Structure 1
Amino acid sequence: METAFLSNLLLVVDTGSMAEAARRVGVTPAAIAQQMSALERELGVALLTRSGRTVMPTEAGYRVIERARGLVADLAELKAHALEGEATGELRIGTITTALLSLLPDVLANFARAFPRAKLLIRAGTSMELYDTLQRGDLDVAICLHPAFALPKAYDWHLLREEPLVVLAPARLAGEDPHELLQREPFIRYDRTLGGGKQADQYLRAARIVPNELFELNSLMAIAMMVDRGLGVSLVPDIVSPMTSALSVVQLALPVRAEPRRFGMVWQRASPRARLIYGLMQCADEVIAASVVNGG
């Protein structure tokens, strides 16, 4: 019996859809359907039934799934046990760009000292791109925004930072009212397809502010540089980066509380690279703790 088929059975059940399960592992829905049929033939029972567009387990399916979760976890634990004590190999890290340009350099410096024999492969992307890549097994860990949906039980999440929305303005406007700046000054918008940009757009709508929009960009660093050049103001997550520390900009707290942007690490609980992942997490926590102590 293919253990990969059992893993995909659990994914079908967790997502409620063969099409969604196929999308997450990077195969066609027909391939997932064939795998499910192969499992049913081998076990001699029907495992799944359709209810509209949703796939549901049969009574026998529920019994199989209950055991399958343990089998899949045991296999992953066996792989991890085979590598126990080995702080070597390649760790594939996916990261959002703002983390790569702010938190991650110091984290990686600490990690390289702690695990000198480990090789790192780093890929940048949006949070959803990274999550999908993690699901396909092409990443070991993603540093990204928390998904807008509940994570499957097979995944772990560790919060790294909470970043409240702030008005980013030229330093000469430090004493101004944040809402008045958003209404009056040219507005540099953070890309609304990204998590922080969506939150900013929701805040503006709730506050009934219609800004004089100048640009829309998907780079927080580029936005900070444009604000520094006096091109306008922006509404962005309050990032901490050495790339912005030399800029003549100020972060103004909003008068109305907004949900912060949360980013952290997500990985498969039974990853064979668990020791390296936990090492990376510890390095990240140390860097963040040091930044708090130093007023970052």
Structure 2
Amino acid sequence: MDVAFLGNLLLVVDTGSMAEAARRVGVTPAAIAQQMQALERELGVTLFVRAGRTVIPTEAGHRVIERARGLVADFADLKANALEGEAAGELRIGTITTALLSLLPDTLANFAHAFPRAKVLIRAGTSMELYDTLQRGDLDAAICLHPPFALPKAYDWHLLREEPLVVLAPARLAKADPHELLRREPFIRYDRSLGGGKQADQYLRAARIVPHELFELNALMAIAMMVDRGLGVSLVPDIVSPMTAALSVARLPLPVPTEARRFGVVWQRASPRWRLIRGLLECADDAVASSAVTAKKKR
């Protein structure tokens, strides 16, 4: 039995779709379907039933999935132990979209240079999705926001950046009063279901500002581009990304200080891939420092 097939079985379960599982591992949906059929033939049971575009595990499938998680994790640990002392192995990283479009490319460039024999698998998701996946043992580290609760002792956290709320406005409004802009200009809201969006909403309520809301979306890069196009202003965490560096956008600090959004890396303390995780942390720190210097020069 191919352990990789079991790993893809878990991915099908976690995403609810063979097509999505195929997209994440870079193969065709037909290839994933063939792997699932091979597992069913070998095990002698039906693992899934289809419900529209999604797949639902059968009772036998649930039993197999429960054991498969342990087998996949044990194999990964075995591989890591076999490579102990070597700058090699597989590192499974989860990341929020903001990091994927800002910090991660430079971090991975540094990491690939420092660990040329390491293989990196990347999964995107929200911070809470990534934390849940880390708890299941399907990730080695997650680049995300600090959870809104105390981390269990089995986990460790490394802060990369603190991102206070700022008003994003077209560059021509750089000298305007931030609160006046939020009251007067069309408003592009950051999704209130996300941590940064909730924080922005709380600030607006506390300041008794009722903006003229036109849009609400969950993509910070897209919001910055919309501001650049003159569609309005926004209240968002102060991110740094090469994708926004060329935009004609001003970042205006708020007159009332706010708690910064904490952005970093979380992992299990006892991870057998600690050497690669430590290398990832060092590369991420270097990328953050470099982006901070570049951003300072451009402001």
TM-score, with structure 1 as normaliser = 0.72
Q: Do the aligned residues in 2 keep the contact of 1:170 with 1:250 (CA within 8 Å)?
A: yes
Q: Output the aligned Cα RMSD.
A: 2.1
Corresponding residue for 2:226? 226
Residues of 2 paired with 1:238 and 1:78: CA distance? 41
- What per-residue deviation string (whole Å, max 9, x for no partner) do you get for residues 76-115 of structure 1? x999765421221211100010111011100000000000
Structure 1 residue matching 2:152: 3-state secondary structure: coil
Corresponding residue for 2:151? 151
Residues of 2 paired with 1:275 and 1:123: CA distance? 20
Structure 1 residue 253, shift from structure 2 partner: 0.6
Matched-pair identity in %: 84
Corresponding residue for 2:137? 137
- What per-residue deviation string (whole Å, max 9, x for no partner) do you get for residues 28-50 of structure 1? xxx9xxxxxxxxxxxxxxxxxxx
Report matched runs for 1:135-214 at 5 Å.
135-214=135-214
Report matched runs for 1:69-148 at 5 Å.
83-148=83-148
Structure 2 residue matching 1:196: 3-state secondary structure: helix
Corresponding residue for 1:277? 277
Q: Do the aligned residues in 2 keep the contact of 1:79 with 1:272 (CA within 8 Å)?
A: no
Gaps of 5+ in 1: 1-30, 32-76
Residues of 2 paired with 1:91 and 1:99: CA distance? 17
Residues of 2 paired with 1:201 and 1:84: CA distance? 48
Letter paired with 2:216:
E
Q: Do the aligned residues in 2 keep the contact of 1:80 with 1:270 (CA within 8 Å)?
A: no
Q: Do the aligned residues in 1 keep the contact of 2:188 with 2:232 (CA within 8 Å)?
A: yes
- What per-residue deviation string (whole Å, max 9, x for no partner) do you get for residues 173-225 of structure 1? 11110000000111000001111111111111111111111111000011011
Residues of 2 paired with 1:289 and 1:132: CA distance? 29
Corresponding residue for 1:286? 286
Structure 1 residue 290, shift from structure 2 partner: 2.3
Corresponding residue for 1:235? 235
Corresponding residue for 2:38? none
Letter paired with 1:204:
L
Residues of 2 paired with 1:78 and 1:269: CA distance? 17
Structure 1 residue 292, shift from structure 2 partner: 3.1
- What per-residue deviation string (whole Å, max 9, x for no partner) do you get for residues 1-30 of structure 1? xxxxxxxxxxxxxxxxxxxxxxxxxxxxxx
Residues of 2 paired with 1:260 and 1:94: CA distance? 22
TM-score, with structure 2 as normaliser = 0.71
Residues of 2 paired with 1:124 and 1:83: CA distance? 27
Gaps of 5+ in 2: 1-61, 63-76
Residues of 1 paired with 2:78 and 2:247: CA distance? 50
Letter paired with 1:201:
D
Structure 1 residue 293, shift from structure 2 partner: 3.5
- What per-residue deviation string (whole Å, max 9, x for no partner) do you get for residues 37-72 of structure 1? xxxxxxxxxxxxxxxxxxxxxxxxxxxxxxxxxxxx
Residues of 2 paired with 1:260 and 1:101: CA distance? 20
Q: Do the aligned residues in 1 keep the contact of 2:171 with 2:250 (CA within 8 Å)?
A: yes
Corresponding residue for 1:252? 252
Structure 2 residue matching 1:193: 3-state secondary structure: coil
- What per-residue deviation string (whole Å, max 9, x for no partner) do you get for residues 139-181 of structure 1? 1000000000000000000000001100000111111100000
